[in-house]
Structure 1
Amino acid sequence: MFQRRRLPLIAVGWLLLGPLAGPRPVLAGDADAGRDVFRSECSECHSIRAGRNKKGPSLAGIVGRHAGALPDYRYSDALERADWTWTPDKLQWYLSQPAKQANPGTKMKYDGLDDAEQRDDLIRFLGTVH
């Protein structure tokens, strides 16, 4: 079944106005350190290659993507019903707690990442993966 992909308002504005809308938001953190966090925290279940899903969906292009929007991955009903976009702030919130607390009914088994700096680094890295 085809799912409509929704873009966050800031992304739509940037796409329509390009440079007139100003620069894209800058993400905090260190992308190189974030790659290491990804390897230790996420890579068992997620790929960063577009179109390559593992237990979890590919995280390529996750920053700015609507939750549950990859057409080639079978999400839990809970994530398909989640009406949010994976912004840096939403990723911070989601990753700071157990996944089952952030999105009750999710299939994701993750206890969360307590270290805010590591979350910043991870989100910065994910923002570079397309």
Structure 2
Amino acid sequence: MDSPLVRAGDASAGSDVFKSECAECHSVKQGRNKKGPSLFGIVGRKAASLPDYNYSDALRSHTDWVWTADKIHSYLSQPAKQADPGTKMKYDGLSNAKDLDDLISYLGTIH
């Protein structure tokens, strides 16, 4: 069984997935928010926990969430269905399981 913070994937390929799917709205630099919060250190972090980002009420209502690999995987497959209506994230989701695993592996290296 995978560790809750790790998934089998190719972090190098995940960097490319990040650039094509996420970089327009998110940064991986610590303290650099864009439309979305910085994803620096996202794996293992509590949801809606960056003090310098204005999260939607929908995501703030899920402060019991911890961004484990499995939680990120389920969230990014269907973001609007994972958070209550009103989420700021206007993304339909990433349905390719390999791309998701690669992306999560990459995000796990950003800390």
Q: TM-score under structure 1 normalisation?
A: 0.78
Go from structure 1 to structure 2 and tell me whether the alpha carbon gap of 1:112 and 1:24 turns closer, same or farther (over 3 Å shift). Answer: closer
Tell me if 1:27 matches 2:14: no
Label 1:106 to 1:25 Cα distance change in 2 as closer, same or farther (>3 A). Answer: closer
The structure that has the greater radius of gyration is: 1
Please state whether the residue corresponding to 1:57 is helix, strand or coil: coil
Partner of 1:7: none
In structure 2, do the counterparts of structure 1 residues 67 and 117 end up closer, same or farther at CA, with 3 Å as the change threshold? same
Partner Cα separation in structure 1 for residue 24 and residue 35 of structure 2: 8
**Which 4+ runs in 1 deviate beyond 3 A?**
23-26
> C-alpha displacement at 1:58, in angstroms?
0.1
* Paired residue total: 107
Could you tell me whether the CA contact under 8 Å between 2:40 and 2:110 is conserved in 1?
yes
**Where does residue 93 of structure 1 map in the other structure?**
74
| Aligned residues: CA RMSD | 1.5
**Amino acid corresponding to residue 115 of structure 1 in structure 2:** N
Give the corresponding residue for 1:36: 16
Which residue of 55, 65, 79 maps to 2:45? 65
Choose the corresponding residue for 2:101, options 120, 123, 126.
120
Please give the secondary structure, in 2, of the residue aligned with 1:36: helix
1:27 to partner: Cα distance: 2.8
Q: For structure 2, list consecutive stretches of 5 or more residues without a partner in the other structure.
A: none
Q: Distance in 2 between matches of 1:126 and 1:102?
A: 19
Structure 1 runs not aligned, ≥5 long? 1-22
Aligned to 1:74: 54
